[in-house]
Chain A
Amino acid sequence: MVKVENISKAFKKMQALNDVSFHAEKGELFGIIGPDGAGKTTLFRIMTTLTIPDNGTVLINNRSIFTDYMEIRKNIGYMPGRFALYQDLTVEENLNFFASVFNTTIEENYHLVKGIYSHIAPFKNRKAGKLSGGMKQKLALSCALIHKPEVLFLDEPTTGVDPVSRKEFWDMLYDLKNIGITIIVSTPYMDEASRCDRIALIKNGVFIDVDTPENIINNFNQTLIALKADNMRQLLKDVRKCSQIKSAFAFGAEIHAVIDSDDYINDINNQLKSLNHKNIEIYRISPAIEDCYIWSR
């Protein structure tokens, strides 16, 4: 459904994307995961025919972004990174407008947006600018869906959104995926990776991995341990001084560190004990996507 092949794009001195490729099948929920400035938005603009790449090609349902962009535009839905609806128009006016832009009506495709729009329908006469953050997202998603697109492109729909609202948003995406809409979504939150069928990890304009989240975790080929003690801040400093530890980072309530072999665990434990740490816990863990991202080479 979406074929991205060897895309590169540079702006002045900055190489935004460097030889990026992936395929997403029909009905797949594909995540592009990485921080701000990694090149996510540029990639979305290329896929949605807004920007021409320097190199490479993109096919959306076998239509080329170079020659068939008008056809593509009729058949995709796009939600840009920042809230891009008319703030001075009401909820209903916005939805109506986007329906007619695509030559359709709310009634015709209401079944598609019903699950999402029903949340905001009670506020349909409110100006879009006066909605709460979560409501705005739902309206934007409804507007992107109203013409029954083949592919939905969502650029950072959950950035700046609290964890509960984020979870809710992903639940909505699942419903859409279940009715066969292909979804390409980007996010800076690594914990959202597990909710995608497949993901691409993007770092400085390069895809460092493209696979299912499980495979990425299984292919992590370094020894990762978690450490805990009463004084976590001091622990991080001391762990960094251990010669057996290659690198270490705080990770929620734990410290994650990479070592060469399990055999070092006892040794590290003894060293930390001698530095007066209390209640030390050290154990082997399998990585989270965020670990894979940090320690990828």
Chain B
Amino acid sequence: MEQVIVTNNLTKKFGSFTAVDNISFYVEKGEIFGFLGANGAGKTTAMRMLCGLSKPTSGSGSVAGYDISKEYEKIKKNIGYMSQKFSLYEDLTVAENIKLFAGIYGMPLKKIKEKSAHILERLALTDRKDTLVKYIPTGWKQKLAFSVAVFHEPKIVFLDEPTGGVDPEARRQFWEMIYEAADNGITIFVTTHYMDEAEYCDRISIMVQGKIAALAAPKDMKKEYNAATMDEVFRKLVAGTFNQE
């Protein structure tokens, strides 16, 4: 299997503080990889390095076959990114957002037209394509944001808490979209605070204080920690270190 994300002893320090401490892991093509951890455990910092937004202090890594310290411009062309906080322009319409992001990645106009019609239809947003994004319910917005993030057919898509605050039904529909993208060979790298969503991943890692404390398929991890749910596993791993600064 092709490994689309590989890191070797990846480390990021801010002054004397080590945010990411010697992490090594890989993600295979088409895999749904859950990246879990407590607030402040270093998830965001690690993700920034993988997206080419921040340079590692030491260690190395590659994403989509490109070196994260040197070839970050190429990485950016081959990944999609979506976060809970920012993914779409609220004051642009649905159609304008699709066109804008596709344009950023240099897709030909004709293809944009075809594909956006397809997406609008799939999301049942055709009637509302001229509605400003801010008037669209959160669940729909996140589904649209995901469609936009994979519009340019990236090899990997990074999702930073994509379902935060989304209603239960839309959250599940969102995950079905993730499955479909993974079936099409897109690798999914996702963070979440919903522990039921950890179960939907092929493999997950749990970060504790800058290190990867556990990495396995959810089933195996539950077995190893003798826990019924991922929530329990998470608590066992993280609880001991909480309340430290």
Distance between B209 CB and nearest chain A CB, rounded to angstroms: 12
- The reply to whether A162 and B38 contact each other, CB–CB distance below 8 Å, is yes
Q: Within the complex, which residue of A132, A156, A294 is in contact with B39, where a contact is CB–CB below 8 Å? A: A132
- Interface assignment of A203: CB less than 8 Å from any CB of chain B: yes
- Interface assignment of B220: CB less than 8 Å from any CB of chain A: no
- The reply to whether A249 and B172 contact each other, CB–CB distance below 8 Å, is yes
- Interface assignment of B169: CB less than 8 Å from any CB of chain A: yes
- The reply to whether A36 and B238 contact each other, CB–CB distance below 8 Å, is no
Q: Which residues of B contact A191 (CB under 8 A)?
A: 231
Interface string of A151-163 (1 = CB under 8 A from B): 0000010011111
Q: Within the complex, which residue of A36, A160, A163 is in contact with B161, where a contact is CB–CB below 8 Å? A: A160
**What's the Cα separation between A253 and B221 when bound, in Å?**
13
- Interface assignment of A4: CB less than 8 Å from any CB of chain B: no
**What's the Cα separation between A165 and B38 when bound, in Å?**
8
Q: Which residues of A contact B239 (CB under 8 A)?
A: 164
Given A162-B238, A163-B231, A165-B242, check contact A132 B40 (CB 8 Å).
yes
Interface string of B166-191 (1 = CB under 8 A from A): 11111010011001000000000000
- Interface assignment of B165: CB less than 8 Å from any CB of chain A: yes
Which candidate, B56-64, B100-108, B135-143, is the interface stretch facing chain A?
A: B135-143
Q: Which residues of B contact A (CB under 8 A)?
A: 37-40, 84, 135, 137-139, 161, 164-170, 172, 175-176, 179, 193-196, 199-200, 218-219, 229-231, 234-235, 238-239, 242-243, 245
Supply 8 A–B pairs (Cβ within 8 Å), ascending by A: A36-B165, A134-B242, A159-B165, A164-B38, A168-B243, A188-B166, A249-B168, A252-B230
Q: Which residues of A contact B (CB under 8 A)?
A: 13-14, 34-38, 119, 122-123, 132-135, 156, 159-168, 188-191, 203, 233, 236, 249-253, 290, 293-294
